[in-house]
Amino acid sequence: MKKPRLSALTVCLLLLFVLPYKTFAGFPIGKYRDIVVPSFSYYSQSAHYDVNGNFIKGTPGVNFTSFSANLYVGYGISRRLDLIVSVPYLYQVNNLGNGKSIISQGAGDMVAGLSYNLVNFKYVRFLSVQVSGVVPLYTASSSTSALGLGDKGAEVKLMYCGALPSFIADKGYFNAEVAYRRYFNFQGPDQVSFLGTVGYPISWHNQVSLDVTVFRSFSPNTTFNINYNAERDYAFVKPQLNFGHQFSRRFSMFLGGYYVPYGINTGLGYGGSVVAIFKL
Q: What are 100-114's pLDDT values in tens digits?
A: 888 999 999 999 999
Q: pLDDT per residue over 25-78, tens digit each?
A: 566 777 778 899 999 999 999 999 999 999 998 888 889 999 999 999 999 999
Count structural domains, the chain: 1
The pLDDT tens digits of the residues spanning 150-185 come to 899 999 999 998 888 878 877 888 999 999 999 999
Q: What is the pLDDT of residue 26?
A: 61
- What's the CATH number where 267 sits? 2.40.160.40
**Predicted TM-score (pTM) of this structure:** 0.86
Please report whether residue 208 resides in a domain.
yes
What is the overall mean pLDDT for the chain?
A: 86
Residue 142: pLDDT above 70? no
Confidence of residue 3 (pLDDT cuts 50, 70, 90): very low
Give the separation between CA 91 and CA 104, rounded to whole angstroms.
6
| 136 contact partners, CB below 8 Å, separation of at least 6 | 108, 109, 110, 145, 147, 148, 149, 150, 151, 152
Band of residue 194 on the pLDDT scale cut at 50, 70, 90: very high
Q: What is the mean pLDDT of residues 228-250?
A: 92
Report if residue 1 sits inside a domain: no
The reported pLDDT for the residue numbered 37 is 92
As a whole-number percent, the residues of the chain with pLDDT over 70 amount to 89
Provide the pLDDT for residue 143: 62
Where does the pLDDT of residue 234 fall: very low under 50, low under 70, confident under 90, or very high at 90 and above? very high
Residue 268 lies in a domain: yes
- CA–CA distance, 45 with 261 (Å, rounded to integer): 12
Residue 2 covered by a domain: no
46 within a domain of the structure (yes/no): yes
Could you tell me if residue 80 is inside a domain? yes
CA neighbours closer than 13 Å in the CB half-sphere of residue 143: 10
Question: pLDDT: is 96 or 242 the higher one?
Answer: 242
- The domain containing residue 160 runs over which residues? 8-279
Find the mean pLDDT for residues 115-135.
90
Residue 117 in any domain: the answer is yes
Contacts of 226 (CB under 8 A, 6+ apart): 45, 48, 62, 63, 64, 94, 267
Average pLDDT over residues 212-232: 91
Residue 84 lies in a domain: yes
The secondary structure of the chain as a DSSP string is -PPPPPPHHHHHHHHHHH--SSS-TT----TT-EEEEEEEEEEEEEEEE-TTS-EEPPPTTEEEEEEEEEEEEEEESSSSEEEEEEEEEEEEEEEEETTEEEEEEEE-EEEEEEEEEEEEETTTEEEEEEEEEEEESS--TTS-BTTB----EEEEEEEEEEEPPTTT-SS-EEEEEEEEEEESSTT--EEEEEEEEEEEESSSSEEEEEEEEEEEEE-S-----SSGGG-SSEEEEEEEEEEEEEEETTEEEEEEEEE--EEESEEEEEEEEEEEEEE-
